[in-house]
Structure 1
């Protein structure tokens, strides 16, 4: 479900952010509305392209040598003004993702990362907030994907679940 929101008052993006399934589900009832991604305090240009969608399975060790594994989907946005005077519709974006899923297995619950570049600046990794209705458009706020320490994140989650205040000190490494 989309919220009716103003990007100036948007809540901070939760590091667990949304999945491709969440995003497509939220857009389903708004196929004809322009889909506007926002980053660095501004919207992408109306001619932006989805230049690549890729899915990956990752296996790693965290800083305490705990094994980690996850699925992640990367959507690459090319922030250019070459596609016309209006932003891509939510329906066109969903159709692009569906076309990719016809050829590449997309885990609907996978972590979603946006790779954004204007073709000049280096590509930046972003996570996405829940879409919101702003005027006649659907907006998705992107924010830089921060590095994290998984053992510390788990500890903070345990503290919150136990109702204990966090002291802000790092327990890991």
Structure 2
């Protein structure tokens, strides 16, 4: 997976570990915050294997942290980072998470369609650790390999399967200059 905002699980966790006493807040759009009564409902590990439009196989792992806003209001404030870390420890005691897995935060509510977003930046703001989320986007992996998405100047399509060069076989008549048996000659 290629995205300028992606962060690996080991780096994401290390960022949290630097601020255990802060309150963990998520901003999913400009001036739109996950409500303070959110829960981390699960952490998923998703190994992805794909073949892109150019016929190239790709593989990566995503670690998806799912947030949920209960409909009923709850007293108090958002969880401290150390509470999130305790949930991570519980998950990791049962499932070995790939340290190089790409982190996505999954969230949605009645005003925001559920989607997976990247933690784009971590901001310490007073007693809060704010994680600003940015949406994922589709992409053409051929571009990252130096190709283009569409017809190239030489007329090649990036999305066509990779062409392998066909070898030509030359046939040689090994019996041309020799005395050889021919049908009906009686030599055989």
Instruction: Place the TM-score, normalised by the shorter chain, in its bin.
Output: 0.7 to 0.9
Residues 58/89 of structure 1: CA separation in 2 closer, same or farther (3 Å cut): same
Q: Which structure 2 segments of 5+ residues have no match?
A: 151-157, 160-188
Larger RCO (CA within 8 A; separation ≥ 6): 1
Aligned to 1:58: 48
- The alpha-carbon deviation at position 15 of structure 1 amounts to 2.8
Q: Which structure 1 segments of 5+ residues have no match?
A: 1-13, 157-168
Aligned to 1:9: none
Larger radius of gyration: 2
Aligned to 1:126: 117
5 Å-filtered alignment, 1:24-43, equals 24-41=13-30, 42-43=32-33
Aligned residues: 148
Aligned to 1:152: 143
Higher helix share: 1
Paired residues of 1:39 and 1:141 also in contact (CA < 8 A): yes
User: Normalising by structure 2, what TM-score?
Assistant: 0.71
Structure-1 separation of matches of 2:131 and 2:149: 31
Paired residues of 1:48 and 1:83 also in contact (CA < 8 A): no
Residues 152/38 of structure 1: CA separation in 2 closer, same or farther (3 Å cut): same
Structure-1 separation of matches of 2:138 and 2:128: 31
Structure-1 separation of matches of 2:40 and 2:97: 16
- The alpha-carbon deviation at position 49 of structure 1 amounts to 0.8
User: Normalising by structure 1, what TM-score?
Assistant: 0.76
- The alpha-carbon deviation at position 83 of structure 1 amounts to 4.5
5 Å-filtered alignment, 1:1-173, equals 15-41=4-30, 42-80=32-70, 82-118=73-109, 121-155=112-146, 170=149, 172-173=158-159
- The alpha-carbon deviation at position 101 of structure 1 amounts to 0.8
Which 10-residue stretch deviates more, 121-130 or 76-85?
76-85
- The alpha-carbon deviation at position 99 of structure 1 amounts to 0.7
Structure-1 separation of matches of 2:38 and 2:80: 11
